[in-house]
A and B are shown apart, each in its own frame.
Chain A
Amino acid sequence: MWYKPGLRKGACLLVCIWSERGIERQMHCSAVLSKMALTQVSSNKCAGGYQKVYEHESVELQCKMKFAVYLPPKAETDKCPVFYWLSGLTCTEQNFITKAGAQQAAADNGIIIVAPDTSPRGCGIEGEDESWDFGTGAGFYVDATEEPWKNNYRMYSYVTEELPKLINSNFAADPDRMSISGHSMGGHGALVCTLRNPGRYKTVSAFAPICNPIGCPWGQKAFAGYLGADKSTWEAYDATVLAASYDGPKLDILIDQGGDDQFLSSSQLLPDHLIAACSAKKIPVVFRRQPGYDHSYFFIYSFMSDHIKHHAKYLNA
């Protein structure tokens, strides 16, 4: 193991700060301590490496959060690039690691895979468990501005700020090489994170993403709840809108979409809008419609190795 999870490091830090005067400092210390504290929940050997699940106290989300980390065999000796996977509605950190079948490809290409949960849990917010497409398991990867969500529902910052720092400090991760991907709501999240942070991610891909949330029932419900009625605030979290004004390093986006996906036919996903925007802005996209496939993890499993290969091309370049 490259680093041991955090208590000792936190203790050292505490010693340094202790020499300073002031209780405020102590408060800061404990925050630093809790930031560094990762508890391993499970560890299973897989494809020559280890599929682990950790729990920690999240600062952004103000609750305990779990995330899954796959460490390939290469991570025992070298720093590896990191592939972030954002899951879709109703998922936890478990769905991806048990159903997607990504570990072998990750091991072959020497890539760490990090799969966080899809929303804060157990915050005790009223109505958080009422719907499967809003609240718990449906964080939509935004930083909510509306009550009662704005304290906890900060998945955008969690994914783009807190989680990478945590991973980089605790694992054999190369901080300069990361990429992002996801399914459905997670696809939306991956696209938004990439388009809003030009140059941060080496590449991006998605499975049946929600391409234009402003235009679909899911997105409209979630944004109204998290961001309020002013639709101009929604645009910052809409991949189609962001693509139309993207100005950053050249991208290479791979999107797979099941042809028999019920949510495609019920106009929740709207890939055509994204394609049109990217065509106009000359953002390179290869969009593949896979006949017969649905919205499930069976579909993800079928094309996961193509996506890992796509990411490996850029992460291992």
Chain B
Amino acid sequence: MWSYVGHIEWTSYRFRPAGSPPLGMDPLGSRGVLGVIEECFSAEEQEEADEGITVTRNQLQEKVVEMENFAGHLEEIFLTVEENFGRQEQHLEQHYNEVLQTLSQRYDQRAARLDLDKKSRLEVLYGQLLGCGRTMDSSKELIEAAQGVYRSQDRRLFLKAVMPTIQRIEEFAKEEMDLTLSTALEINTTEDDLSDVKTMMDSISVVPAPSAPVINPQMANSATQTSLRVRWNLFSDDTVEFYELFYRPVLEDLPADNTHGTDVCKVKVKETHCRVTDLLPNAQYELWVMATNTTGISPASEKALYMTVPSPPAIKERGCSSCPEAALIRWDSGNNNPVDSYTVEITEMDTHGAQCGAAEAIVAVPSCQCLIQLQQDRRYMVTVRAVNIGGPSEKSHPLGVSTTGTLFHLLEDTAHPCLSISEDGFTMFYGDEELPLSALAFDDNNFARCVAVLGDLLPVRGQHYWEVAVDDYTEFRVGVAYEDTNRNAYLGATNTSWCMRHILTPTRHKYEFLHDGWSPDLRITVNPMRIGVALDYDGGTLSFYNVELEQHLYTFHCCFQSYVHPCFALDNPGGLTVHNGVEAPGYTRN
């Protein structure tokens, strides 16, 4: 704050009294605007004068505003300086308090030591004193005893006692008397080590090392797939020269507190924010900041966890299907690790392929598929984004969806091994060459006896329509089946599938409409080359038509317990082609 200097343009703050002519209006000279107006003869000159007044007024107003701004700035500077002083004062007070505290602590310690010393010496001396006292008592007693003996009248007793007594006195006299004091009278005063107090005093005038900065949590929408925008704050009034931001990826298989492990990267910045680049998508990173100034480095801030945005998903075109009122979109996540959710965006397109209408979004989609409600006979463009706490990813490549007719793809993993499917996914062949046993790989999902394949599920109520192109020589089965229809049975043989079947006999063509092994007895005189299949979930009907003749062939009346898949099978070598995304013709509707 000390280095703030506002560079003020003094030249722009020129003022002139209000009555004086505006700057640069030479023709009017110095007569004053009002005077000029009075003397005007022509309308044009009056107009010019009016303009001049307006211009002057505007300029003056601008100047006023600038002055107000300047005053505001000055006030701000004043306030900041005042604040700073206040802080410094506080800081110094605190510092000195600390020093005083330390000193009084030392004093107390020293006083306590001296106290102890004194006590111990006094004890010793007292002990000595007691000893002397005892000696005195015993010598007193001796003297009294000798005196007693001396004074005794009885010569016999005196003779008995005199010699031991004399001996005792002689012995006593031989004893050395230790009259020296056992303790020194001098008290040693050791010099205290006050060097740390000295450094404390010295450091008052020095700028302290910064405290740990405060790293902010991740802001919404600040991250990209490969970068993160990190912000942090100063702790109170620290002076900082630069910051160092440390970061490392958080990997699942390493412990979270392993700071010596994976590469910790470092970035040096002067601002309180930084954009870290070259990161992995959908990854969690641990970040912390240290502030440095001339005195030293702060401790590390708290570690914050940031997350980069995921990579965009990829819509699986062959996994998507549509019908007049809805579309089922499926995609690959595009990320190795899980994301929080997906957002699906839908835009309506007009017939020229341009966008019309606002985009709609479906958020918080938990899995990699979504069923979207749409309107009939329109075109849409769909994109998907993956979302985690870092924000949404870039859009996936778009998929065009048309809600005319019903469009579905074949589920190739349900196909019998002998059935091959064309590249565009809509034509199937039953080749007549024998496949080696090794090529006949069966799993739980594909048909094992009937050379059949299922189409994608039709998971939307209402009416669906598609066509199948066949030829005279192919024995086929065409219809619908539940997802769990027996893969070891023939289509139409169980109560989980319904189909139209074409059989070639030596004499004629035979057509059956099979469900649960039963068919009505029907004869058809013109063999259909293109079969229209109309499914009505609500009406509970499955109808078959000869498309070229617009002829109704047969209708099953069923009660569908769950959604069904279109199904196709070939009973002899041959092929058939599925045509879908076709609008149901009028004669197929009730």
Q: Mark B549-561, 1 if CB is under 8 A from A, else 0.
A: 1111110000000
CB < 8 Å neighbour of B522 from A283, A288, A310, A313: A288
Shortest distance from the beta carbon of B395 to any chain A beta carbon, whole Å: 46
Chain A residues near B525 (CB-CB < 8 A): 275, 278-279, 282-285, 287
Shortest CB distance A105–B (Å): 13
- Which residues of A lie under 8 Å from residue B526 when comparing CB positions? 279, 282-285
Interface footprint category on B:
10 to 19
Interface size class on chain A is 10 to 19
Chain B residues within 8 Å of A284, by CB: 525-526, 546, 549, 551
Distance from B147 Cβ to chain A, minimum over Cβ atoms (Å): 160
Q: Does A28 contact B (CB under 8 A)?
A: no
B16: Cβ under 8 A from any A Cβ = no
Q: Are the CB atoms of B549 and A250 closer together than 8 Å?
A: yes
- CB of A286 within 8 Å of the partner chain: yes
User: Which of B521, B549, B586, B587 has a CB less than 8 Å from the CB of A289?
Assistant: B521
Q: Taking the nearest CB of chain B, how far is it from the CB of A11, in angstroms?
A: 46
Closest Cβ of chain A: how far from B392's Cβ, in Å?
52
Q: Is A252 an interface residue (CB 8 A)?
A: yes
Q: Confirm or deny: B524 has a beta carbon within 8 angstroms of a beta carbon on chain A.
A: yes
Closest Cβ of chain B to A249, distance in Å, is 12
Q: What is the minimal beta-carbon distance from A278 to any residue of chain B, in angstroms?
A: 4
Q: How far is A288 from B553 in the complex, measured between Cα atoms in Å? A: 10
Indicate whether B520 reaches chain A with its CB closer than 8 angstroms. Answer: yes
The verdict on A288 contacting B521 (CB below 8 Å), with A250-B549, A313-B552 known, is yes
If A279-B525, A279-B526, A313-B587 touch, whether A286 touches B553 (CB-CB below 8 Å) is: yes
Interface string of A228-262 (1 = CB under 8 A from B): 00000000000000000000001010000001000
Instruction: Establish whether residues B551 and A289, one from each chain, have CB atoms under 8 Å apart when the complex forms.
Output: no
**Is A124 positioned at the interface, with any CB of B under 8 Å from its CB?**
no
Cα–Cα distance between A259 and B522 once the two chains are bound (Å): 12
Contacts of A317 in B (CB 8 A): 586-587
Main secondary structure of the interface of A (DSSP, over half): mixed
Q: Does B151 contact A (CB under 8 A)?
A: no
| Cβ–Cβ contact B523 & A275, under 8 A | yes
Chain B residues, CB < 8 A from A285: 523-526
Given contacts A285-B523, A289-B521, contact A252 B553 (CB under 8 A): no
Residues on A with C-beta less than 8 A from B551 are 252, 284, 286
Q: Which of A278-308 contact B (CB under 8 A)?
A: 278-279, 282-291
Please indicate the chain A residues that have their CB under 8 angstroms from the CB of B554 in the complex: 286
Q: Tell me which residues across on chain A come within 8 A of B508, comparing CB atoms.
A: 279
Q: Name the residue on A nearest B549 (C-beta).
A: A284
Q: Is the CB of A287 within 8 A of B550?
A: no
Bound form: Cα–Cα A186–B438 in Å: 63
Determine whether the beta carbon of B549 is less than 8 Å from that of A286.
Answer: no
A252 to B523, CA, bound (A): 13
Compute how far the CA of A289 lies from the CA of B519 in the bound complex, rounded to whole angstroms: 11
A290 / chain B contacts, CB cutoff of 8 Å: 520-521
Chain B residues numbered 524-556 whose CB sits less than 8 Å from any CB in chain A: 524-526, 546, 549-554
Chain B 488-525 against A: per-residue CB contact (8 Å), 1 yes, 0 no?
00000000000000000000100000000000111111
* Given known A-B contacts A250-B549, A252-B549, A252-B551, A286 and B587 have beta carbons under 8 A apart: no
- Please give me the residue from chain B that is nearest to A285 by CB atom: B525
B524 proximity list for chain A (CB < 8 A): 285-287
Q: Which chain A positions have C-beta within 8 A of B553?
A: 286
Q: Is B549 within 8 A of A288, CB to CB?
A: no
Q: How far is the CA of A189 from the CA of B554 in the complex (A)?
A: 25
Cβ of B587: which chain A residues have Cβ within 8 Å of it? 313, 317
Minimum CB–CB distance for A291 against chain B, Å: 7
Among B521, B522, B586: residue with most chain A CB under 10 A: B521
5 A-B residue pairs with CB within 8 Å: A284-B525, A285-B523, A286-B522, A289-B522, A313-B587
The 8 residue pairs across chains A and B that have the minimum distance between CB atoms: A289-B521, A287-B523, A278-B525, A285-B525, A279-B525, A284-B526, A284-B551, A284-B549
Given contacts A286-B552, A286-B554, A287-B523, 10 further A-B contacts (CB under 8 A): A279-B508, A279-B526, A285-B525, A286-B524, A286-B553, A287-B524, A290-B520, A290-B521, A291-B521, A313-B587
